[in-house]
Amino acid sequence: MMNFKKKLSAAAALTLSVVMLAGCGNTGSSETSETQQTTAATTAEPASRIAELTGGKATIPELSLDQYEIPENDALSFTKDMKIGWNLGNTLDAVDDSGNLANDLNLESAWVGVKTTKEIIDNIKNGGFNTVRVPVSWHNHVDENYTINQPFMDRVQEVVDYVIDNDMYCIINIHHDTELEYFYPDSEHFDQSAKYLETIWKQISERFKDYDNKLIFEGINEPRLKGTGLEWYLNTNDPKGKDSAECLNKHNQLFVDTVRASGGNNGERYLMIPGYCASPDGVLTDLFTMPTDTVENRIILSVHAYTPYNFALQAGAEENWSVDDSNSTSPITQFMDKLYEKFISKGVPIVIGEFGARNKTENTQARTDFAAYYIAAARARGITCVWWDNHAFYGQGENFGLFDRRAISWKYPDIVLAMMEYAE
């Protein structure tokens, strides 16, 4: 059973007060390209900024959810310690396929208007997050043989080090390289996709082979048949859908084999793999198979779930969300229960690598309630979540931004406080 009240955690508020000390972007969750500008930093003292940013805007729900039995193993302890994560979205994953790219290192700020600094990551840490997912798109930074240019690889390592030096978990991946000429999960493009996947991961594995297990490799982001009616829906009765799911199983196996063969700590590093389009259905289908591995239970399932879709992601749709309304909560508990039954209860770890609720006419209270419930429900089932922050705040785009990287401040601290309340 669940009780619902409102409260503000004094301990959580104290945590957020630390990050207020310091003084644009593509608006898509993973795919869009609108540019937004952020406001300048305020100059008020920390205490007054807390009052300005949190006073009366939202309250945090008090939840009491049933706790599920979580098996005891190293993998589930590992993901539990990841606690809660934040995505450095629309940054190192930004792409430009116009053919007019003059300096590929400038892509980092092309969508968000600001390059990542240690100060940004320090503030994410101080906000209570223990994991940073660093999406990386590589195809603008390779030659005809898929050799990654060293300045870009150096920059990726620099950002990874910002995270690792804070004693946080860091996830790096292949992100917006899901095109026909790079990675496309079907039989027609299988050899091309395998070549790209293997070549990129050999280089990443070599560069980071001596990093400890706080660094996690994620094989590919949202693999799917882009440009088709099956892009976001795996129809297992469609021969193309079945073929794609089977190809992805082979690609996941290749990713695991490539990393494991690369030496150093990669022989036992935790690896994240997705099902089709990284959806819950992509791993719940019988077509999905776990890769075999040379080390026991070091594979984490990667799932993305902007659920319920009409509230969390769909433009012009539902702005309200209520913990007292089963139409709000059931879509979350239903998919999480299925993941728990098939995987968590069997000792297989899961990270929801992207979730969130876009800003719809400043519906901050609804988003705060949603964030609290989503995290509480996930943690009750042994699942760790990573909020998608694309540094987008205004306009009609997919505005998932929580942290203003230009101002170095939390724009929606209530949402952060709500997540931290239930992240332990």
Fill in the amino acid letter for 358. R
Q: Measure the CA–CA gap between 424 and 421, rounded to whole angstroms.
A: 8
> Residue 49 pLDDT > 90, yes or no?
no
Query: Which helix or strand (DSSP H or E) is residue 89 part of?
Result: none
Residues that are catalytic:
175, 222, 354
* SS3 state at 328: helix
* SS3 state at 183: coil
Q: Measure the CA–CA gap between 183 and 176, rounded to whole angstroms.
A: 9
Nearest to 240 by CA among 230, 249, 227, 248: 230
**Would you state the structure tokens that stand for residue 138, as one six-digit string?**
């590589």
Residue 10 Cα distances to 7, 14, 145, 292, 415, angstroms: 9, 6, 55, 46, 15
* Mean of pLDDT values over 226-233: 94
Q: How far apart are the first and last CA of the chain?
A: 20
**Domains along the sequence of the chain with CATH:** 4-176+297-421 (3.20.20.80)
Q: Measure the CA–CA gap between 400 and 423, rounded to whole angstroms.
A: 19
What pLDDT is recorded for position 51?
33
Q: How confident is the model at residue 101 (pLDDT cuts 50, 70, 90)?
A: confident
Exposed, middle or buried by CB within 10 Å (0-12, 13-18, 19+), for 173? buried
Query: Would you say 20 and 50 are in contact if contact means Cβ atoms under 8 Å apart?
Result: yes
What pLDDT is recorded for position 27?
37
Does pTM top 0.85 for this prediction?
yes
* SS3 state at 63: strand
Q: What is the pLDDT of residues 245-289, one digit of tens each?
A: 999 999 999 999 999 999 999 999 999 999 999 999 999 999 999
DSSP characters over 210-221: TS-TTEEEE--S
Q: Measure the CA–CA gap between 58 and 60, rounded to whole angstroms.
A: 7
Q: Measure the CA–CA gap between 162 and 172, rounded to whole angstroms.
A: 13
What pLDDT is recorded for position 265?
98
Chain centroid, CA 24 distance in Å: 19
Q: What is the pLDDT of residues 234-246, one digit of tens each?
A: 999 999 999 999 9
Region of poorest pLDDT, from 29-38, 224-233, 286-295: 29-38
Which residues have CB under 8 Å from 94's CB, separation 6+?
A: 26, 107, 108, 109, 110, 111, 112, 137
The CA angle 4-322-324, to the nearest 5 degrees, is 50
Fill in the amino acid letter for 166. N
Residue 308: asked if its preceding bond is cis (omega within 30°), the reply is yes
**Would you state the structure tokens that stand for residue 136, as one six-digit string?**
């990386």
Angular region, 142: left φ>0, alpha ψ -120 to 50, beta rest = beta
* Mean of pLDDT values over 61-80: 97
Q: Measure the CA–CA gap between 295 and 271, rounded to whole angstroms.
A: 11
